[in-house]
Amino acid sequence: MPDRPIRVLIADDHEIVRTGIRLLVNGQADMEVIAEARDGAEAVALSVATAPDVVLMDISMPEMSGIEATRAIKATRSEAEIVGLTMHSDERYFFELLKAGASGYVVKGGAPHELLEAIRAAARGQAYIHPSVAGRLIGDFVERAQSGEAELDGLTDREREVLEQIALGLTGREIAAQLEISANTVDRHRSNIMAKLDLHNKAALVRYAVRKGLIEDE
């Protein structure tokens, strides 16, 4: 996370939603809203013009959808992290956002702290998996891995277990407790996984799971 406040761009076609998010974000010492967009096309343009660290992207917007805008932003500013905003808790929207390059999503009806957690996680290059989806996502992951359907590019069984916990969003300390290994061992496994897959952050690992078909997009 940068020493300066996290620079946030809000993209939502409802002014009342943008106002509420702006007040919430600007009330935090470690983040600030630097721009607001009313549709996907404006979000893409403002992303280039203002260089935000994190874009809060509504999925359903006129002119260009949030998913299309996410693809466009990642194509032009790959370093920008994107968190989807949606009224839907359906995991299909989560999968589509991941495929487009987002770090996760937050349901608009959720608690304010979830949005703030998602922004901070994205700024660290980590995925944020909304609680309404996390259980189903990891359940699909485990089921497919155990059935032998998933090819995980040479990962060991233990590395697969660690990857499952990372996909669930657990911290290194939580993974260590869950698997009854040391935190240093978790770090070593994480490094090995990223080296084998040539991936460099948690968000990329979750997107990898989707691309490889480890999780069903039903």
Could you tell me if 73 and 174 lie in one domain? no
What is the CATH classification number for the domain harbouring 168? 1.10.10.10
Sheet with 54-58: list strands edge to edge: 31-37, 6-11, 54-58, 81-86, 104-107
Q: Which pLDDT belongs to residue 149?
A: 46
Tokens of 86: 């949606």
Which residue in 37, 31, 67 sits closest to 50, CA to CA? 37
Q: Which pLDDT belongs to residue 197?
A: 81
Residue 218 lies in a domain: no
Task: Give the predicted TM-score (pTM) of the model.
Answer: 0.64
Q: Which pLDDT belongs to residue 89?
A: 59
Residue 86 lies in a domain: yes
From 110, 128, 146, the end of a domain falls on 128
Residue 53 lies in a domain: yes
From 112, 128, 144, the end of a domain falls on 128
212 three-state secondary structure: coil
Could you tell me if 141 and 60 lie in one domain? no
pLDDT block averages, 10 residues each, the chain of length 218: 85 94 97 96 96 94 88 91 80 72 83 93 84 59 51 72 77 86 87 81 74 52
Distance from C-alpha of 199 to C-alpha of 116, rounded to nearest angstrom: 25
Residue 150 lies in a domain: yes
Could you tell me if 10 and 108 lie in one domain? yes
Distance from C-alpha of 2 to C-alpha of 124, rounded to nearest angstrom: 9
Number of neighbouring beta carbons within 10 Å of residue 212: 15
Could you tell me if 81 and 146 lie in one domain? no
Q: Which pLDDT belongs to residue 20?
A: 95
Could you tell me if 192 and 93 lie in one domain? no
Could you tell me if 20 and 89 lie in one domain? yes
Could you tell me if 137 and 204 lie in one domain? yes
From 128, 155, 178, the end of a domain falls on 128
Backbone angles phi and psi of 169, in degrees to 5: 95, 15
Could you tell me if 139 and 104 lie in one domain? no
Query: How many distinct structural domains can be found in the chain?
Result: 2
Distance from C-alpha of 168 to C-alpha of 155, rounded to nearest angstrom: 18
Could you tell me if 118 and 160 lie in one domain? no
Question: What is the residue range of 113's domain?
Answer: 6-128
Could you tell me if 113 and 147 lie in one domain? no
Could you tell me if 197 and 107 lie in one domain? no
Could you tell me if 108 and 162 lie in one domain? no
Residue pair 66/58 in contact (Cβ under 8 Å)? The answer is: yes
For residue 150, CA distances in Å to 41, 155, 161, 213 come to 37, 11, 13, 7
Residue 216 lies in a domain: no
What is the CATH classification number for the domain harbouring 73? 3.40.50.2300
